[in-house]
């Protein structure tokens, strides 16, 4: 069974990894015969959001690795200690954690930076020519990993697409149940909850993107 990496960014759509997307990615991988291994950076979250009210919880702090372990059922590694050579492909579920913890895209837009351990790992994946799949808002990190001209989608959101273009990416509008592939870079992206109206919409696109990514191995 081939091992693949799934990079998490916390636990919860507003301040971490989107739980539906993370679980759907894992389910699609296992059904396709892959063995997912979870990774996350051992860093503080940007902030903690009360998911009942949508408001930032003042005075509360959480750790990205610890929170990600909730989704991984405790089986997770610090991405700083991970070796790209151990994995056949890598997957980045979305959620605001990708834009707040794995990067600061939610704050700085086109001027964003990617967290150092995450960037090292993602660039090593690209340099090794291994397939990668970025889901939902996570594709906003792609231009900083793969460089100018990379084909990428976050769906149809004009402001996010404009920021990706400003970073040098080639944004392609895409329906929720489909994906965009940059074959030269073995790179797949899909909109998921950037467009999904329900979990079934997200599941269809994610499963298609997972299959397309595994086919590039």
Catalytic positions, written as ranges:
136
Whole-angstrom Cα distance, residue 179 to residue 146? 18
Distance of CA 200 to the CA centre of its chain: 19
Whole-angstrom Cα distance, residue 18 to residue 190? 14
Whole-angstrom Cα distance, residue 24 to residue 17? 12
Q: 103: closest CA among 189, 43, 155?
A: 43
**86-123 burial, b for 16+ CB within 10 Å, e for fewer?**
ebbbbbbbbbbbbbbbbbbbbeebeebebbebbbebbe
Whole-angstrom Cα distance, residue 193 to residue 20? 9
User: In sequence order, what are the beta bridge partners of 133?
Assistant: 91, 188
Q: Where are the alpha helices (DSSP H) in the chain?
A: 19-31, 64-71, 97-100, 105-108, 116-127, 142-146, 158-166, 199-214
């Amino acid at each position: 069974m081939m091992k693949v990496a799934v990079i998490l960014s916390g636990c919860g759509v507003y301040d971490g990894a989107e739980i539906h997307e993370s679980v759907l990615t894992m389910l699609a991988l296992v059904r396709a015969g892959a063995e997912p291994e979870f990774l996350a950076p051992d860093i503080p979250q940007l902030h903690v959001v009360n998911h009942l009210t949508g408001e930032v919880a003042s005075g509360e702090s959480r750790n990205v690795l610890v929170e990600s372990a909730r989704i991984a059922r405790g089986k997770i590694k610090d991405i700083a200690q991970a070796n790209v050579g151990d994995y056949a492909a890598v997957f980045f579920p979305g959620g605001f954690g990708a834009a707040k913890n794995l990067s600061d895209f939610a704050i700085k837009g086109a001027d964003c930076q990617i967290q150092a351990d995450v960037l090292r790992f993602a660039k090593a994946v690209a340099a090794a020519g291994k397939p990668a799949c970025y889901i939902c808002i996570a594709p906003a990190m792609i231009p900083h990993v793969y460089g100018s001209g990379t084909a990428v989608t976050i769906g149809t959101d004009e402001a996010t697409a404009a920021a990706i273009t400003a970073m040098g990416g080639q944004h392609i509008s895409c329906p929720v149940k489909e994906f965009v592939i940059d074959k030269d870079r073995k790179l797949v992206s899909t909109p998921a909850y950037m467009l999904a109206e329900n979990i079934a919409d997200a599941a269809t696109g994610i499963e298609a993107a997972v299959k397309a990514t595994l086919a590039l191995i």
